[in-house]
Structures are given as C-alpha cells and as structure tokens.
Chains A and B, each alone.
Chain A
Amino acid sequence: MMQKEEFPLKKVCLICAKGSLEDVYAALVMANGAVMEGIETKVFFTFFGLDAITKRQMNKLHTATVGNPAMRMPNGWAFPSLLGAIPGVESGVSAMMRSQMEQLDIPTVPEFLEMITAGGGEIYACKLAVDMFKLKKEDLSSEVKDIITVGEFYGLCGGQGTQIIFT
C-alpha cells in the first residue's frame, strides 16, 4: 500500500486584484488567517485591489449593489438592481455591511493590515498598478513594505510548500 505523505503549507502568497469590500476582505481574512497559523504570508495588491492599501480609499470600500445577484434585502428578499442604482444606496448598504462586520469583531481594513504585519506578514503594492493610478509611496498605508514588480513578487513566492492564491 502507498504511504500517504502530508506536506504542510509553509507559505502563502495572496494576490488581491479587486477593490470591492468582499474581494478585499477575502484576501485580508485569508492572509491574517495564515499569519495566525504561523504560515509565512505575502500579499500583493494590484489594480483596483490597491484601494485596500491606499490611505484615501481604504476606509470607504464598497460592495456592488448593481449586478450582484447575491445582494439581498435585510429580510432576505431579492435586492432590485434599479434600487441599487439610486445614488447613495451603494454607500448606505456598504456602511451597513461594515457596521455588521464590526459587531462580529471583524477588523477594519487598516486594522487588518496592521494585524497582518504585526504577525510578520508582508504587504506589497504592484508597481505597474501604482504607476497606472499615479500613486506614490506616501499615498499608501505605512504597512506596505514595498512597491514591487510582478517578477519580484514571484521571486518572493519560491520554496517548497508555497501556494499562490488569487482572490
């Protein structure tokens, strides 16, 4: 009989390319969860994902109220797309979601970034996207370790027991 060998996960490299509340939190929860398990963790923010590490945007992430089939009213009814298109609705819904997350002890975005780096995780911004959005290092959270190229990020992803996760 074949002996089943287990290779524990040693390092995770996460790529966050989207800037909606749920996409950013998926990356942050996965990253912090890995740090909590003692797994080496690197997170690479690119394209709209950069909003999560941009000081001006990080506290104002939205969830889409239009074109989001999983969006529901608090009572479980379908959320009409036309309602979602009304100015202010998306902000209101997003603020509501953020307050519900606070009640569940889910950290805010800046706090999450701090928690990840406090545990030894590393946060990077994509150079191409930073240039494209005309951002500078000082526009980004102080938790960002560096602005690096895709090649440099892959260089950090080596080693046995490493996984790259794209959220």
Chain B
Amino acid sequence: MAQKTYAGVVLDVTDEGYMTDKNLWTKEIAIAIAEEENISLNDSHFAVIDFLRDRVAKGETLTIRSIGKSGIVDIKGFYQLFPGAPLKLATRISGLPKPVSCV
C-alpha cells in the first residue's frame, strides 16, 4: 500500500496506483492523476468517467465491450481518449479499483 497526494489530498493507493476508496474521488483528483499520464481531461473524458463510476456503483463488471455499447464513446474513441491500456487507465483516473475482466 502506498500514499499519493493528488490535488492537495493525501490518498491511499495500491502499488499500481489505484485509489483504495472510490468515495474520496473528486474531479480535481481525476485531473491530477490524468496529468501524471499526460492526459488533459475534457468533457468526453468525463462522460466516460461518469459512465464507469456509475456502472461500478451498480456492481457491474467493466469490459471494453460494455463501454463500446454505452453510446458514449465507441471502442476506437475510447482508445484515443485513454491511450495504451484504456480500461486500466480510465478506471485509475476514475478512482475505481483495477478492472478484473479479460474482455
């Protein structure tokens, strides 16, 4: 377990940098985590973040496919918003646990 300071808040994070308490998340924290990854968040990013947080709050498993079907962003767009490993990156920025799905 490690601690990180984002937007002036000291937070517990896992060794991979995922927040351990999603309830402490704020938009400012998201912006700070994203800056670490050289992403400057805009409204399209936040639409995805809201969707992810909403799904996780409902207890659903996040998959790339479900994001593609969300109507918010297609899969190509998702990879463009969060380049590299989008599901991992987007959940980390959203203050959510590391996703456990294989698809």
Contact = CB atoms under 8 A, between A and B. Distances in A.
Contacts of B58: none
Contacts of A119: 64, 75-76, 79, 86
Interface residues of B, number: 19
Q: Sort chain A's interface into a size bin.
A: 10 to 19
A78 interface: no
Interface string A10-38: 00000000000000000001001100111
Contacts of A115: 64-65, 68, 75
Contacts, number: 42
A38 B103 contact: no
Contacts of B100: none
Interface string A104-124: 011100010011001110000
Given A36-B87, A119-B86, 18 more contacts: A32-B64, A33-B102, A36-B64, A36-B86, A38-B83, A38-B84, A38-B85, A105-B63, A106-B103, A107-B65, A111-B65, A114-B75, A115-B64, A115-B65, A115-B75, A118-B79, A119-B76, A119-B79
